[in-house]
Amino acid sequence: MNLTLKVWRQKNAKSEGKLVTYQVSDISPDMSFLEMFDVLNEQLISKGEDPIAFDHDCREGICGMCSMFINGRAHGPLTGVTTCQLHMRSFKDGDTIVVEPWRAKAFPVIKDLVVDRSAFDRIIAKGGFISVNTGSARDANNIPIPKQNADEAFEAAACIGCGACVATCKNSSAMLFVSAKISQLALLPQGQPERYQRVLNMVEQMDKEGFGNCSNTGACEVECPKGISLENIARMNRDFLKASLIQKPKKETGGGAM
Amino acid sequence: MSKLDSKIPEGPLEQKWTKYRSTVPLVNPANKRNLEIIVVGSGLAGSSAAATLAEMGYKVKVFCFQDSPRRAHSIAAQGGINAAKNYQNDGDSVYRLFYDTIKGGDYRSREANVYRLAEVSGNIIDQCVAQGVPLAREYGGLLSNRSFGGTQVQRTFYAAGQTGQQLLLGAYSALQRQVGLGNVQMFARHEMLELVTIDGKARGIIARNLVTGELERHFGHAVLLCSGGYGNVFFLSTNAMGSNVTAAWKAHKKGAFFGNPCFTQIHPTCIPVSGEHQSKLTLMSESLRNDGRIWVPKKKEDAEAIRAGKKKASDIPEEDRDYYLERRYPAFGNLVPRDVASRAAKERCDAGYGVNATGQAVFLDFMYNMKEKYGRAEATKRGISNPTDAQLKELGKEVIKEKYGNLFDMYKQITGVDPYEEPMQIYPAVHYTMGGLWVDYNLMTTIPGLYALGEANFSDHGANRLGASALMQGLADGYFVIPYTIGAYLSTEVSRMSAEKEKPDAIDKIKTKHPAFDEAEKAVKDRIEKLLSINGTKPVDYFHKRLGKVMWDKCGMARNAEGLKWAIEEIRKIREEFWKDVRVPGTNEEFNPELEKAGRVADFLELGELMCIDALHRNESCGGHFREEYQTEDGEALRDDENYAYVAAWEYKGDGQYELHKEELKFEAIKIAQRSYK
Amino acid sequence: MKTSLSRKYWMAVSGLFLIIFLTQHFTINFLSVISEESFNSVSHFMGTNPIVQFLLQPVLLIGVVFHFIAGFMLEIKNRQSRPVKYAAYSPAANSTWMSRNMIVTGIMILLFLGLHFYDFWIPEMNVKYIQADMSGLNENGEFRYYDELVHKFTDPIRVIIYCLSFVFLSLHLMHGFQSAFQSLGARHPKYTPGIKKLGAAFAVLIPLGFIVIALFHYLSSH
């Protein structure tokens, strides 16, 4: 296959970027999209040009590192897969493919197609956990959990934190990501003690990071490589509403669980 | 006299750890706040250690090269985690898990460590469940288990095909909690490029900020390497693209011995290589061997016809199929340990029975179990008395989909072939490295204050790791071992600090001005400058691929003295060429993935040689290390317990020079025996 | 209104309130098609009852103002969340036009509201509270409401504008109805499909009904 690529090039966070056109030839349909980029980069290096920086690591669709916005869609034309699991057989010979980084105020570009997603880590640090120190756990089977809840919690926990939801949302909203973690913990008995304070804290941090609001377009759910459901956002909305109504103001000092 | 002291506590095996825990010196809380610990790597071992140590009150700094600690490659583990809980009432016990692991490792691991691992395995499950890790459950709300290779009990806990992900996210959330509380400082997109030692003790690291290229000095009273394995030395492996040996290798060159470097695990069920362009291999979980039967055609002409695309798997009648694992190992059948399954696949392919275009693949076939096991059960359940073949398949397909749906989808996505219709094609691929930095019972390397945890150390898996044991080891080391054992060293640090009147609050700024830091930073800088200044003609990957091919051909599933000697020479040549002709674009002062890669490949080019040296010296076959000269008449590994029941720990003595130290392995609780799965 | 989620709640609550109002408005208007007399009497009641006029009417006004101010605020915040736009963006692949263009349909409805106020509400306020004529009668001594209504729909351009506006209203409701429930967290696999169907039916029937009313009066006056 021969393809024309239009790739976003940006030297660093401070400089302006632009789309640059490249031609690649003899691409095998069995190649993954990232392997096609490997080929292009090898060409660029041998020509003495700067290779294109892009995030990737496991290349088996689970680490959540790869993050390309391909022809107007997060992780490309297929649903339910990450960029690394997209193969060239999804394209036709002669296609022009536009590749851009995730775009959101909360995800500043570091270089080319690489963005900074540390906002997600900061949100988790505000409450995406159960406060249990190592060594203080009781026997695992002492906490029976209905299979349905366990399965639902697992489905929410399948989030890989890639940021496709933010990238695809017209508002750059992170609610699918945030609600997936809130849901996972809200569905489990272990998560109950901190349930309402958690949702308040995480939403507060989410807003601080500069993500947009949710307009319930459902785009995130469609593009999510792990199929995280909008139901999680509804659960977060519910919990936050309840938390706003019942939760007493946080004490600034004292040995709270947080 | 050996320099190695494994520091195994005295006493009977079952009491060693209990006794150790109650007698190990403690560090008082006020002192903990003045002690800094550096953790390199944020996978299961790193995250769990960092979180736990921070909970205990230490000041922790965590480094990872990815953009977030959650992306460490532990996340890709699919199948499960073992624990001797005996929830299934099938006769499991700490001893049995210990025994299976020692036997699975082909009697090349340290008894005391493995027993401790089995002892804490249950606590890991408790801890993870308490953190909210959604492990699979039965309808009664209790935890579910599955079987894995090399065992005859059900002790593997799992979360669909994403167990590693769920466990890592649990550890990550514990870590982020400590970040939020200010007890852990997180340095993502940072790579450790040098270990700093002062007076022979680990005192800190030099890390490169991968975004800006800046070299940073970080001080620590102890340094924990949780940087994973080095499977990427083979170029193609199931490891993540960024997985590397650099942190461990730098430590090795500063004096940490490297244990059993040649022990690598080749996983039997990976998607075969499809072409030159391939950048990595994808694992199909071992759990598939529960329901998939492995076979190749009995007749060579059939295999040839399949390779030429003239026949399909379904064209081969039942009587012409060779279910070689069931034939050779009737007791364990398709669930033999990984090394055995891999070798058997290679044997069939080498004999000319391989099935894909390259001849390097065997079938993993679900059709029989789909129809006969699940289809028939479903038909009975639904009261269909004389189900047709098509009905059986349809009914069984639903069950298979429920169990392995995500894996089947992934297979189809990668190969373009529907595994519900045609059997999967699989071939072994590099997956895990049992070798690693040599550590004592405390997980301390031969450099005082430097520890290695998880896959980065050599300790628990001997010559072959059983499935679902890596997650167990990483978390055991991080959650339950290091928090105790580090006290033994840090308590002496506290005494030293008070004797030397070291000011606890004078962190970083003063301490990192020590000449040792200057020296280490200069070494890193020089090396980066050297890499950037070669300006040769070939990209880094060119050398990496060449190295990988040599390693796979000569130091892979089967090795022999002649091949290894050739490989050592060849790797030296590649290394020399690399330093003359590599082309690293860009500068240091920017985000430069090629520069990162160059540094890592440079280290692999040294490690590869050591692996071959180790493989060459070990004149026996054991576990993943199969020397063609040492096999039984029917092609099984032939161990030499008289001469090789030891850990080979290599000391770096300058470029290409290594000195061997031996740690004799004593088996007191287990009678060392021929390892048989027949 | 401080957090992103509370803005969503306000949007949803005011939206649902407006949906209830719309139902009520439609019911009364539809009377004009069935019976001139009952339309006049209900209109008079609504126009003169103090509870309606001084309690419900201000609440409604606040609801409307709230809904669009909150809408604009959200839109501004959302736009700021992506300072650099995509060169290629294919949202049609994963979401409906309606869900993405609430601000467009909303603005169209707001413009229509301006016209609607100019047509009916401002004259009403003028007659009732400036001229202080609370009788509801015209110079012939009959109720004026029906005639005023019919009079407005004699102008074909106005009828077209009205009908177009109802199309926008339909598009707005098509997403807004079910979205309000989602925003408030009212989602359940048992009920949500029903809510979605109800929303779609409401979004079609109510605006269609308004169009029928407008066309009915236009056609019957020609």
CA B148 to CA B154: how far, in whole Å?
Answer: 7
- Out of B70, B141, B590, closest to residue A147 by CB: B141
CATH of the domain at C149: 1.20.1300.10
* Contact flag B48-A153 (C-beta cutoff 8 Å): no
Q: Tokens 């942190």 belong to which residue?
A: B247
Determine how β-strand B190-198 pairs with β-strand B321-322: unpaired
CB of A26 within 8 Å of a chain B CB? The answer is no
SS3 content of chain C, % helix, strand, coil (to 5): 80, 0, 20
**All structural domains of chain A with their residue ranges:** 3-111, 118-246
CA B542 to CA A71: how far, in whole Å?
Answer: 31
Residue C89 lies in a domain: no
Q: What is the mean pLDDT of residues C81-88?
A: 97
What are the b/e assignments for B114-136, b being 16+ CB within 10 Å? bbbbbbbbbbbbbbbbbbbbbbb
DSSP-derived 3-state class of residue B371: helix
Q: Which domain holds residue C173?
A: 4-81+97-220
- Out of A170, A211, A234, closest to residue C182 by CB: A234
pLDDT of residue C37: 92
Instruction: List, for residues B378-399, the tens digit of each pLDDT value.
Output: 999 999 999 999 999 999 999 8
- Do residues B246 and B192 make contact, with C-beta atoms less than 8 angstroms apart? yes
Total tally of structural domains belonging to chain C: 1
* Contact flag A241-C7 (C-beta cutoff 8 Å): no
pLDDT of residue A257: 43
pLDDT of residue B290: 85
Which residues are CB-neighbours of C77 under 8 A, at least 6 positions away?
A212, A213, C4
Suggest the residue from A109, A236, A237, A244 to mutate for an interface test with chain C (most C CBs closer than 10 A): A237
pLDDT at A250 over 80: no
Chain A residue at shortest CA distance from C178: A216
**Separation in Å, CA of A109 to nearest CA in chain B:** 11
- Out of A31, A133, A157, closest to residue B55 by CB: A133
Instruction: List, for residues A77-102, the tens digit of each pLDDT value.
Output: 999 999 999 999 999 999 999 999 99
CB of A24 within 8 Å of a chain B CB? The answer is no
**All structural domains of chain B with their residue ranges:** 269-429, 516-641
**Separation in Å, CA of C107 to nearest CA in chain A:** 16
pLDDT of residue A251: 61
Chain A residue at shortest CA distance from C94: A219
CATH class of B516-641: mainly alpha
* Contact flag A57-B141 (C-beta cutoff 8 Å): no
- Residues in B closer than 8 angstroms to A132, CB to CB, are 127, 130-131, 174
Which DSSP category does B620 fall into? S
Contact of chains A and C by CB distance (3 or more pairs under 8 angstroms): yes
Per-residue CA distances from C24 to B204, C28, C30 (Å):
73, 6, 10
Per CATH, which fold does B269-429 belong to?
A: Flavocytochrome C3; Chain A, domain 1 (3.90.700)
Task: Please count the other Cβ atoms lying within 10 Å of the Cβ belonging to residue B506.
Answer: 9
Band the pLDDT of A256: cuts 50, 70, 90.
Answer: very low
Suggest the residue from B81, B85, B129 to mutate for an interface test with chain A (most A CBs closer than 10 A): B129
Contacting A residues, span 186-245, partner chain C, CB-CB under 8 Å: 203-204, 206-207, 210-219, 222-223, 230-231, 233-241, 244
Contact of chains B and C by CB distance (3 or more pairs under 8 angstroms): no
**Separation in Å, CA of A158 to nearest CA in chain C:** 20
Tokens at residue C100, please? 């993405």
**Separation in Å, CA of B399 to nearest CA in chain A:** 17
Domain A118-246 listed as CATH 1.10.1060.10: yes
DSSP-derived 3-state class of residue B354: coil
CB of B654 within 8 Å of a chain A CB? The answer is no
User: Which chains share 3+ C-beta pairs under 8 angstroms with A?
Assistant: B, C
Stretch among B415-419, B449-453, C14-18, C177-181 having the lowest mean pLDDT: B415-419
Long-range contacts of B89-92, Cβ-Cβ distance < 8 Å, separation of 24 or more: B90/B153, B90/B154, B91/B153, B92/B153, B92/B154, B92/B155
Residue B86 has phi, psi (to 5 degrees) of 55, 35
The DSSP line for B54-81 is HHHT-EEEEE-SSSSGGGSGGGG--S-E
pLDDT < 70: residue spans in chain B: 1-2, 503-510
E-assigned strands of chain A? 3-10, 17-24, 69-70, 73-74, 96-100, 109-111, 114-115
Of 3.10.129.10, 3.10.20.30, 3.40.50.10900, 3.40.190.10, the CATH number of A3-111 is 3.10.20.30
DSSP-derived 3-state class of residue A133: coil
* Contact flag B240-A126 (C-beta cutoff 8 Å): no
**Closest-CA residue to B109 (of B515, B566, B623):** B623
CB of B85 within 8 Å of a chain A CB? The answer is yes
User: Which chains share 3+ C-beta pairs under 8 angstroms with B?
Assistant: A
Residue C59 lies in a domain: yes
* 3-state DSSP of B271-334: CCCCCCCCCCCCECCHHHHHCCEEEEECCHHHHHHHHCCCCCHHHCCHHHEECHHHHHCCCCHH
pLDDT at A237 over 80: yes
Residue C92 lies in a domain: no
How would you class A45 by CB atoms within 10 Å of its CB: exposed for 0-12, middle for 13-18, buried for 19 or more? buried
pLDDT of residue B410: 87
pLDDT of residue A242: 96
pLDDT of residue B497: 85
Per-residue CA distances from C49 to B598, C41, C144 (Å):
82, 12, 17
pLDDT of residue B444: 98
Q: Where are the alpha helices (H) located in C35-118, listed in sequence order?
A: 36-48, 50, 57-80, 97-100, 102-116
Contacting A residues, span 117-176, partner chain B, CB-CB under 8 Å: 117-118, 120-121, 124-141, 143-147, 150-151, 153-154, 157-158, 160-161
Q: What is the mean pLDDT of residues A37-60?
A: 95
* Contact flag C184-A237 (C-beta cutoff 8 Å): yes
Residue C47 lies in a domain: yes
Band the pLDDT of A255: cuts 50, 70, 90.
Answer: very low
* Contact flag C95-A217 (C-beta cutoff 8 Å): yes
pLDDT of residue B1: 41
Q: What is the mean pLDDT of residues A132-154?
A: 95
- Out of B139, B176, B414, closest to residue A125 by CB: B176
* Contact flag C87-A100 (C-beta cutoff 8 Å): yes
What are the b/e assignments for C68-98, b being 16+ CB within 10 Å? bebbeebbebbeebbebebebbebeebbeeb
Residue C169 lies in a domain: yes
Query: Strand B222-225's sheet: what is its strand order?
Result: B184-187, B59-63, B36-40, B222-225, B450-452
* Contact flag B70-A87 (C-beta cutoff 8 Å): no
The DSSP line for C187-198 is --TTTHHHHHHH
* Contact flag A211-C81 (C-beta cutoff 8 Å): yes
Do A3-111 and A118-246 agree at the fold level?
no
Contacting A residues, span 89-128, partner chain B, CB-CB under 8 Å: 89, 110-111, 114, 116-118, 120-121, 124-128
* Contact flag C187-A172 (C-beta cutoff 8 Å): no
